[in-house]
Amino acid sequence: MRPMTIRRALAHDAQHLTSLIQRSGAYRGQYAPIIAGYRVTAEYIARHQVFVAVGSSGRVLGFYSLVLDPPELDLAFVADEAQGLGVGRRLIGHMVGRAGEAGVTGVRVVAHPPAEDFYLRMGAQRVGTVAPSPPKVAWERPDLRFTIPAGRGAALR
C-alpha cells in the first residue's frame, strides 16, 4: 500500500471531490444518471463527517462522508487509478473508527450494486434492498449495515 494520510475535508476540497465523483468509471453507462449534476459543496463538507485520503504527492485518492443522524455512509469514492491499492479499505476502517468515537452502533450503506462485494468484504451485512427511485435510480440497491463494536473508536485508524 502506498503512503497516504486521511484528513478532514476542507471547503477548498469540494471541487476535487466533485471531480472525483464525476470521473468515476463505476458510474458510466446505466449508472450515469445517479451522479449527473451531483456536486459536493463546501456546505456539505461543513455539515457532515467528510474525510479524504491523500497520497504522498498531495493528490486526493478517495474520500467518504459519514452522516451521523441517522448514521449512514452517504458517499465513498476512490479514484479509478487508486483502486486496488488499499485506499478504500483504509477509508472504511477510518469511517468505522469515527462512527465508534461518535457513539454510533451501526452505519447504513445504500450501496452502488457493483460495490456490494467490497462492503461485504469490509464487514458490512446485507439487511435488504432499496427499491428503484426513477428517473435517476432505475435499479434496486443493496441495503447494508456496518455494526460498530463498542470501544472500537480510534483503534481502526
Instruction: Give the residues of the chain that fall short of pLDDT 70.
Output: 1-2, 151-157
Rounded to the nearest integer, the mean pLDDT of the chain is 93
Instruction: State the DSSP string of the chain.
Output: ---EEEEE--GGGHHHHHHHHHT-GGGSGGGGGGTTT----HHHHHHSEEEEEEETTS-EEEEEEEEETTEEEEEEEE-GGGTTTTHHHHHHHHHHHHHHHTT-SEEEEE--GGGHHHHHHTT-EEEEEE--BTTTB-S-EEEEEEE--TT-GGGG-
Whether residue 152 contacts residue 115, with contact meaning beta carbons closer than 8 Å, is answered with no
Report d(CA 108, CA 129) in Å as an integer.
12
Which tens digit of pLDDT belongs to each residue from 112-137?
Answer: 999 999 999 999 999 999 999 988 89
Domains along the sequence of the chain with CATH: 4-156 (3.40.630.30)
| Residue 58 cell numbers, joined | 498531495
Q: Tell how strand 4-8 and strand 125-130 pair up.
A: unpaired
Q: Model-level pTM?
A: 0.92
Phi-psi region of 110 (alpha: psi -120 to 50; beta: other; left: phi over 0): beta
Report pLDDT for 157: 37
Using alpha carbons, list the distances in angstroms from residue 4 to 56, 64, 82, 149: 6, 15, 11, 26
Query: Tens digits of per-residue pLDDT, 134-145?
Result: 888 989 999 999
Residue 1 is predicted with a pLDDT of: 53
* pLDDT of res. 149: 85
